[in-house]
Amino acid sequence: MNHRLTVDNPYCRPASDPLRAGASARQRRPAAQLLGAVLAAVVLVALALWMYVVRDQTMTLRMMTAGPLVGGGLLTIWTLVVHRLVCGDRWEALGLRTDRWWVECGLGVALAALLLAIHYGLGPALNRLFPPQPPPPELIELFGGVSRSPVLLALWLGPVVWIGVAGFEELWRVHLLRRLWLVLPGRAGRWAVIFVSAALVAGVHLYQPPAIMLSIGLLSLVQGFYFLATGRFWSMVVAHALYDSFQVVLIVHALRAGGMG
């Protein structure tokens, strides 16, 4: 019985691209890909546990700003190391290369518009099912400080959102999808993996209100199916960053107008 990974169409990335030519026999086994998925999942669970812990502690604005940026940067490196050294995979399988940035940016803007439309379109229905709750005090403190400081606002709309949040989270997503798609290469398996990854992303946001958690899960489904269909990573980062930046701007505007806190 052959336990090595096979692919059905090497030109259909990222679900069925082969591993890099230099991958070892061990890396070509499904166990190595499952290990890579577990190492990615552990990171997300650790982040969720950390959020539960720090919610009961006093967090400074510096910590809440530097945390996503430094943590996201380090975890990005970790994910890339696992992708290459543990799983023996190619960078192209994550969509990390592109020769048409204007295409990626245009698709990212369109995808961001779709995500925002889903979020605000389903918002009233989700709020009827789950009555809105006041935002956590730490978020009010964080964005209150951001609304008063142009420097902090620039940091959040720049490196924090683009690198610490969107960059890391989308890299984590495509890494996990790629690992499990190699283990479950059939169409049903690929779709199941997308739902599992979306459920995992939603689950680690249990500290947030149910409506937000469900919305995050639905948006994760869209991102997963988009990556399956296109294999494009950078447009996902653009969409995620624009989506989050729009939310930050709305919160800051509401705080400055006296609508929160």
- Give the model confidence (pLDDT) of 235-254 as tens digits: 999 999 999 999 999 988 88
Range of the domain at 102: 30-256
Report if residue 62 sits inside a domain: yes
Pick the closest to residue 153 from 255, 69, 243, 248 (CA basis): 248
Report if residue 88 sits inside a domain: yes
Q: Residue 56 and residue 88: Cα distance in Å, rounded?
A: 40
Q: Which pair of tokens denotes residue 6?
A: 């096979």
Dihedral through CA 197, CA 37, CA 83, CA 198, nearest 10?
A: 10
Q: Which pair of tokens denotes residue 210?
A: 């149910």
Q: pLDDT tens, position by position, for the chain (261 residues)? A: 344 444 433 334 677 778 888 899 999 999 999 999 999 888 877 777 766 665 555 566 777 778 788 888 888 999 999 999 999 999 989 988 777 889 999 999 999 999 999 999 998 898 888 887 776 676 777 788 888 888 889 989 999 999 999 999 999 999 999 999 999 988 999 999 999 999 989 888 777 788 888 999 999 999 999 999 999 999 999 999 999 999 999 988 888 887 554
User: Residue 196 has what pLDDT?
Assistant: 94
Please tell me the total count of domains within the chain. 1
Q: What is the pTM of this model?
A: 0.89
User: Residue 259 has what pLDDT?
Assistant: 52
Report if residue 217 sits inside a domain: yes
Contact 79, 93 (CB under 8 A): no
Report if residue 10 sits inside a domain: no
Report if residue 117 sits inside a domain: yes
User: Residue 12 has what pLDDT?
Assistant: 45
Q: Residue 21 and residue 34: Cα distance in Å, rounded?
A: 20
Sequence-distant (6+) residues with CB within 8 A of 131 are none
Report if residue 71 sits inside a domain: yes
Contact 167, 237 (CB under 8 A): yes
As a residue count, the chain comes to 261
Report if residue 18 sits inside a domain: no
Report if residue 209 sits inside a domain: yes
